[in-house]
Amino acid sequence: MTYSTIPTARLGENGPEVGVQGLGCMGMSFAYGPTDADASRAALERALELGVTLYDTADAYGAGENEKFLSPFFKAHRDEVVIATKFALAIPPEDPSRRIIRNDAPYIREAVEASLRRLDVDVIDLYYMHRRDVNVPIEDTVGVMADLVREGKVKQLGLSEVTADELRAAQGVHPIAAVQSEWSLFSRDIEAQVVPAARELGVSLVPYSPLGRGFLTGSFTDAGTDLTADDFRRQQPRFNGENAVANAALLEPVRTVAEAHGASLGQIALAWVQQRSTVHGLPVIPIPGTSKPGRVEENTAATGIVLSDEELDLLEPISAKVAGDRYADMRFASAGRE
């Protein structure tokens, strides 16, 4: 089978054109069980060949390991790639297994220097606040981020898991290029307020976990029995026990649509997210995560699938029926602050 290069979309109002699908790199080092460095390197190269230019990491992924792992690839292709990384999930010295949310100026300054060092680049193309610390006014946090732009350490700013009000307040301080939040057939909270605000403000949407952390591909059902002991998905209520079994039944319409297109379930899940761009009228650049070159081919090919109105109608009821929260600790989601 031959694969063609994917189309592009604009990242932020005055930002660069990037491949309309990015690549989530978290699982290459962290969170989803065993990793394979050789396969991950091949996945990165294959993605670039297919027109993927936005690569997503964070300082928190493997406590810096993911940024270090990606560095040689980024350096080899510096002019072709758009590097997105994040700060805010700090490791408390007394317990390295925990993460605390920090948005204060000293922490941001420390975090950006550490990311630049690990990535071994002069500038970060897109720098996100990973999570919001409600004890720090967002204007102050974005003020520090804006200073990093002026100092040439960072090119564009992004926010992850923020509310519409937080996005508006941030945009009052400095243009925000992108909001990164969970958006998939299973997770549509942001459509009520965040997406309309982003459209109005000229902010692009970067959906994370567009494959529902792999659940929407049908590759596992109950994380508690199907995945390894260290897999983060074993902590997520919707992927475990009775919830997981009920949620697996919700994939039936996805299967119906997939059969009609001769596509996989994952491709239909991705096509649905890609199509949010036309449905909601703003640039949408999902970042499916995979560490396998064959799956990069499969996922990027989904950018060529267009779902009919009837098919969108069939998929529409799914999210309202999902059993179980996205996170065990919902302080990690913006939803509770709306």
Q: Are 9 and 277 in contact (CB under 8 A)?
A: yes
Q: Does 136 bind ligand NAP (CB under 6 A)?
A: no
Provide the minimum distance between the beta carbon of 262 and ligand NAP in the complex, in angstroms, as a whole number: 15
Q: Does 295 bind ligand NAP (CB under 6 A)?
A: yes
Q: Does 326 bind ligand NAP (CB under 6 A)?
A: no
Provide the minimum distance between the beta carbon of 251 and ligand NAP in the complex, in angstroms, as a whole number: 13
For residue 179, give the DSSP letter: E
20, 26, 47, 263: which one contacts ligand NAP (CB under 6 A)?
26
Q: Does 46 bind ligand NAP (CB under 6 A)?
A: no
21, 180, 221, 247: which one contacts ligand NAP (CB under 6 A)?
180
Cβ atoms within 10 A of the Cβ of 222, count?
18
Q: Does 27 bind ligand NAP (CB under 6 A)?
A: yes
127, 208, 239, 272: which one contacts ligand NAP (CB under 6 A)?
208
Q: Of these residues, 32, 61, 107, 208, which one is catalytic?
A: 61
61 noted as active-site residue: yes
Binding mask 51-80 for ligand NAP (x = CB under 6 A): -----x------------------------
Pairing of strands 89-90, 82-87: unpaired
- Residue 161 or 313: the one with the smaller Cβ distance to ligand NAP is 161
- Residue 114 or 152: the one with the smaller Cβ distance to ligand NAP is 114
**Among candidate residues 244, 197, 203, 198, the one with its CA nearest the CA of residue 222:** 244
Size of the site for ligand NAP (CB under 6 A): 29
Pairing of strands 8-10, 17-19: antiparallel
Cα gap 176→245, rounded to integer Å: 39
Provide the minimum distance between the beta carbon of 150 and ligand NAP in the complex, in angstroms, as a whole number: 25
- 3-state SS, residue 329: coil
- 3-state SS, residue 102: coil
Q: Does 25 bind ligand NAP (CB under 6 A)?
A: yes
Q: Which amino acid is at 257?
A: V
Q: Does 214 bind ligand NAP (CB under 6 A)?
A: yes
Give the CB-nearest residue to ligand NAP. Answer: 24
Residues contacting 134, CB < 8 A, separation 6+: 337
**Among candidate residues 84, 109, 181, 174, the one with its CA nearest the CA of residue 138:** 174
Angle of helix 164-171 relative to helix 138-150, nearest 10 degrees, comes to: 40
Angle of helix 138-150 relative to helix 105-119, nearest 10 degrees, comes to: 40
Q: Does 186 bind ligand NAP (CB under 6 A)?
A: no
Cα gap 201→281, rounded to integer Å: 12
Q: Does 319 bind ligand NAP (CB under 6 A)?
A: no
217, 221, 240, 243: which one contacts ligand NAP (CB under 6 A)?
217
Mark the segment that binds ligand NAP (CB under 6 A) among 13-21, 136-144, 250-258, 293-301. 293-301
Token digits of residue 159? 């926010």
Alpha helices (H) in the chain, listed in sequence order? 37-49, 65-76, 105-119, 138-150, 164-171, 194-201, 223-226, 241-249, 252-261, 265-274, 276-280, 293-301, 309-315
- Residue 15 or 289: the one with the smaller Cβ distance to ligand NAP is 289
- Residue 171 or 217: the one with the smaller Cβ distance to ligand NAP is 217
The footprint of ligand NAP on residues 261-290 (CB under 6 A) is 266, 287-290
29, 156, 160, 274: which one contacts ligand NAP (CB under 6 A)?
160
- 3-state SS, residue 160: strand
Which residues are catalytic, by number? 61
Residue ranges binding ligand NAP (CB under 6 A): 24-27, 32, 56, 130, 160-161, 180, 208-214, 217, 219, 266, 287-292, 295, 298-299
